[in-house]
Amino acid sequence: MSVRKLHLSGRNHIKLYCLYYEEKAKQLGIWDANESKYNIDLAYLTSQEPSPEKFAREVVREREKSTVKRATDAAEEVCLPPPPTLLKLPPPPPSVLRLTDEYTHLIAVNIARQETGFW
């Protein structure tokens, strides 16, 4: 790669290029700082910062994982077949059983949250 191409793709060149055209736009009166798409403010910079609330939620979730067991986690539980259906009707779709497991898991999570007082 030539020196000229290397220079034109460099970090400083791009920064100086942007600053030059920003200055020209301000001189012509067509620059409005409020219309910038790529505005980085304090709220954006601190959005990824860990907060005590996020940490508390993560701690509660870890406790829930240790105290609440899903049906798939328990190996010693007896797995009963689905209940029989009415005559001449097909069996229910498998999603019914899966949704029932998810529903019971959500109930257990809700109870665990109420016991710990985290709401």
pLDDT tens per residue across span 33-76? 776 666 666 676 666 766 777 778 888 888 777 776 665 555 55
Predicted confidence band at 101 (pLDDT cuts at 50, 70, 90)? confident
CA dihedral 72, 77, 79, 83 (to 10 degrees): -110
The CA distances from residue 101 to 49, 70, 96, 104, 118, in Å, are: 35, 8, 9, 5, 23
* Mean of per-residue pLDDT scores for the chain: 73
Residue whose entry in the numeric block shows the structure tokens 């979730």: 61
Percentage of the chain exceeding pLDDT 70: 56
User: Measured between alpha carbons, how far is residue 19 from residues 9, 23, 28, 36 in Å?
Assistant: 15, 6, 14, 14
Give the pLDDT confidence score for residue 16 in this predicted structure.
Answer: 79
Would you state the pLDDT for residue 39?
Answer: 63
Distances (CA, A) of 41 to 36, 46, 47, 49: 12, 9, 10, 14
CA atoms of 53 and 59, how far apart (whole Å): 10
Write down the H helix ranges in the chain. Answer: 3-8, 11-28, 42-45, 52-67, 94-116
First and final C-alpha spacing in the chain: 59
